[in-house]
Amino acid sequence: PEASMAVLVQIQVQGIFSGVAFSRDPLLGDKDAVAIEALPGAASAVVSGQVTPESYQVVFGHSDSLPEILGESGDLPPSLLQEVAHLARDLETRYHGVPQDIEWSYDGRTLWLLQARPITTLLPIWTRKIAAEVIPGVIRPLTWSVNQPLTCGTWGEIFSLVLGKRSRGLDFSQTATLHYARAYFNASLLGQIFRRMGLPPESLEFLTRGASMSKPSLGSTLRNIPGLWRLIARELSAKKNFDHDYQHLFLPTLQDLGKPTANMSPSDLLGRIHQILKVLESATYYSILTPLSAALRQALFRVKDQELDPSRTPEAAALRSLQTIATASRDLLGNLDQLSPQTASLFATLAESPQTEPVLAQLDRFLERYGYLSEVGTDIAVPTWKENPQPIRELFASLLFNPSPESQKSEISHQSWKAKLVQGRVDLKGQVGGIYSQLLAELRWSFVALEQVWCQSGLLADQGDIFFLELAEIEQMIANDPGFMAQVEPLVAQRRSHYQQNSQLSTVPTVVYGSAPDPVNLTLGNWTASEKLQGIGASPGQAEGRVKILQNLQAIPAVDQTMILVVPYTDAGWAPFLARAGGIISEVGGRLSHGAIIAREYRIPAVMEVAYATQRLQEGQQVRIDGQRGTVEIL
């Protein structure tokens, strides 16, 4: 019984070297280092605090090489320090990724573990994995005040469905947070939730990124069978439920939102915003459930990515539509040599010629259909294509003079019954993505209309100011709260300055420990140079080419198949440019990311999750990528 006490009989370890180790250094901010303090002799000398031990950092690199030892030159053998570091990391893995504080002693033959306990000051553990793909980039306050409750609320609904009464004591509002103005998921909480569900703590990463997964205990799984069955029932009825909500909720709402906002009062616009947010609760549920459903089916039936057709995704459909317009325009315009490939000159010529009116009309219809897409679909602070059509104009000019390769859609002529079961969920995911993105675009346009009213009245000074306020603060302004109104201008200025400072950070940690992370002090100069980088294989095939780094879509370069495009992340708005590259390397993202889907459709090798790729690789560098193995070789 748990209440009883064992009588422990063991030998006394006669240590010739002893010490303590932290599997993650809590002081120096280097999250890839194990901190070790040690001295010759028994462990009591180190933990007593009466003598000053030797201090070391054992840094784990990004290759198979031995860890590097930093610190003073002392009596401890390097091989022993490396063994202690590996022991500390193995214990961290055994205890579900929780950093460990250990005591150890070495008797000349055996390394003895004397004690291990969690480093509570490093909890919770926050991770950029998955979060950086869901909502990438630097995030403004308004975006987060909308996205955080929607996302955390939906996860809470799904987890509560399975856990039932066992969900008590779990604060689902802590599922995600911002560090350095970027989104992080609570790995500690998610691991705890999945263990309560009778699933391995890394289940979410397995489904979204194809990571390896440990085996759960049979007992915990059996205890959760009723809850898991409830989740399976939701998965099986997802298509039926979505079709019903599409006809009775999503479609009527989008039709109603088509009314102009020009003459609406702030109160009316706030009512419109709340209407959209209410519908977004349902849309967010499907936007989380359907990708997980597709991934679960694909893993269960072992269906390869190449067996699936992703053409129902909005980004793939938009790209194919623009290619069709470009192809038709080439036939209509005849001799392209008479036209300038420069975007501004091209459109000036098209606007002056009556015979090219059909081309411009088709582009207008394209923007009417897909104008809700943007560089970052989940960030309402980012302008949509409809507001800023310049990237689409530049892409159209590029497609007009340099046709893109055809997609592989026509090649998938026959699917097995297993692939069809997965394909149904992939198609549903595309439908959900379109609805979700349209609702977010309407939400953005509502806030933009409200901002225009306040800029005219002098409540806000500059375009974009409203996105540095939170939703509750906007409600205070509409209620004419006098105390808050006086704070608006300095508050916006302060947050804008903070946002700009975070935007200038070239690197941020993939993992953050604790609720108050240290300032970023990562320097790539400390990294060991490597001729091979490792990521996640997302689209098979090999390609060699010159590195072209694209940090954002503000300055769009000419992209061709001789280039390996290196990007910080991929979203729907990036799709047209990714399809033209010879290969893709992304700092974040998994097999189900936008970039991976586009890469597979256009048979472009792609490697995702290459940490700090835009910093570690150099413009013009020759590289070879393997989209099957997930490797990037510097040639």
pLDDT of residue 413: 65
| 364-417 residue pLDDT tens | 999 999 999 988 888 999 999 999 998 888 888 888 887 766 655 545 667 899
| Residue 597 CB neighbours (<10 A) | 28
First-to-final CA distance of the chain? 61
Do the beta carbons of residue 330 and residue 278 sit within 8 Å?
no
For residue 226, the number of C-alpha atoms closer than 13 Å in the C-beta half-sphere is 6
Residue type, 91: L
Reduced 3-state DSSP string for 501-558: HHHCCCCCCCEEECCCCCCCCCCHHHCCCCCEEECEEEECCEEEEEEEECCCCCCCCC
How confident is the model at residue 245, as a pLDDT?
Answer: 97
- Rounded distance between C-alpha atoms, residue 249 and residue 600, angstroms: 33
Higher pLDDT residue, 517 or 91?
91
pLDDT top residue among 277 and 258 = 277
- pLDDT at residue 215 tops 70: no
Q: Which residue has the tokens 């991976």?
A: 596
Cβ neighbour number for residue 354 with a 10 Å cutoff: 6
Residue 28 near residue 58 (C-beta atoms within 8 A) = no
Cα separation, 228 vs 627, in Å, equals 34
Distance CA 76, CA 233 (A): 58
pLDDT digits (tens, 9 = 90+) for 119-141: 776 778 888 877 887 888 899 99
As a whole number, the mean pLDDT across the chain is: 83
Q: What is the pLDDT of residues 302-316, one digit of tens each?
A: 888 888 887 778 888
Which pLDDT belongs to residue 171?
Answer: 87
What average pLDDT does range 163-186 have in this prediction? 87
User: For residues 433 and 596, what is the distance between their CA atoms, to the nearest angstrom?
Assistant: 16
Supply the pLDDT for residue 526: 44
Q: Would you place residue 210 in the very low, low, confident or very high pLDDT band (cuts 50, 70, 90)?
A: low
78 pLDDT higher than 50:
yes
Residue 560 burial (10 A CB sphere; 0-12, 13-18, 19+): middle
Q: What does the pLDDT read at residue 472? A: 94
pLDDT recorded at residue 589: 73
d(CA 180, CA 170): 25
Distance CA 44, CA 24 (A): 22
Which of 131, 145, 239, 243 shows the shortest CA–CA distance to 187? 131
**Tokens linked to 27:** 């002081």
Q: Report DSSP state, residue 11.
A: P
Secondary structure of residue 260 in the 3-state scheme: coil
Sequence-distant (≥ 6) Cβ neighbours of residue 94 within 8 angstroms? none
Residue 524: which residues within 8 A CB-CB, separation 6 or more? 506, 507, 612, 615, 616
Single-letter amino acid, residue 452: Q
pLDDT at site 37: 84
Q: How many residues does the chain have?
A: 635
- In a 3-state reduction of DSSP, which class is residue 251? helix
Q: Span 68-83, mean pLDDT? A: 83
Please report the beta strands in 11-53, taking only residues with DSSP state E, as ranges in sequence order: 17-22, 33-40
Tokens 């590195």 belong to residue = 547
Q: For the residues 450-472, what does the mean pLDDT come to?
A: 93
- Which two tokens mark 442? 């309407």
| 123 against 463, higher pLDDT | 463
At 38 the pLDDT is 87
Residue 607 confidence (pLDDT) above 60: yes
Q: Is the entire prediction scored with pTM above 0.95?
A: no
Cα Rg of the chain, angstroms = 27
Q: Give CA–CA dist 370/387, Å, rounded.
A: 11
Confidence band, pLDDT 50/70/90 cuts, at residue 66: confident
Sheet holding 111-118, edge to edge: 68-71, 54-59, 33-40, 17-22, 100-106, 111-118
The fraction of the chain above a pLDDT of 70, given in percent, is 85
pLDDT at 276 > cutoff 90: yes
- CA–CA distance, 47 with 588 (Å, rounded to integer): 41
What's phi and psi for 552, nearest 5 deg? -160, 180
CA distance 262 to 623: 51
The answer to which of 53-67, 160-174, 396-410, 614-628 has the lowest mean pLDDT is: 396-410
Average pLDDT over residues 291-303: 87
Burial class (CB in 10 A: 0-12, 13-18, 19+), 555: exposed
Distance CA 34, CA 92 (A): 11
- pLDDT category, 29, cuts 50, 70, 90? very low
> What is the rounded CA–CA span in Å between residue 169 and residue 167?
6
Would you say residue 14 has pLDDT above 70?
yes
Residue 126 · residue 511 · CB < 8 Å: yes
Rounded mean pLDDT, 197-218: 60
Measured between alpha carbons, how far is 389 from 230 in angstroms, rounded to an integer?
45
Highest mean pLDDT among 463-472, 587-596, 611-620: 463-472
Q: Return the beta strands (E) in 64-203 as ranges.
A: 68-71, 100-106, 111-118, 125-127, 176-179, 182-186
pLDDT at residue 106 tops 50: yes
Check: CB of residue 613 under 8 Å from CB of residue 586.
Answer: yes
The predicted pLDDT at position 46 comes to: 65
Q: Note the Cα 372 to chain centre separation in Å.
A: 20
Question: What's the rounded Cα separation, in Å, for the pair 166 and 159?
Answer: 10
Q: For the segment 480-498, what is each residue's pLDDT rounded down to a tens digit?
A: 888 888 889 999 999 999 9
- Please check the confidence at residue 525 and state whether its pLDDT lies above 50: no
Residues 322-365 have pLDDT tens digits of 888 888 887 777 767 777 777 788 888 778 777 778 888 899 99
Read off the pLDDT band of 522 (50, 70, 90): very low
For the chain, the maximum distance between any two Cα atoms, rounded to a whole number of angstroms, is 96
Q: Is the pLDDT of residue 418 over 60?
A: yes
Q: Taking residues 229-238, what's their average pLDDT?
A: 90
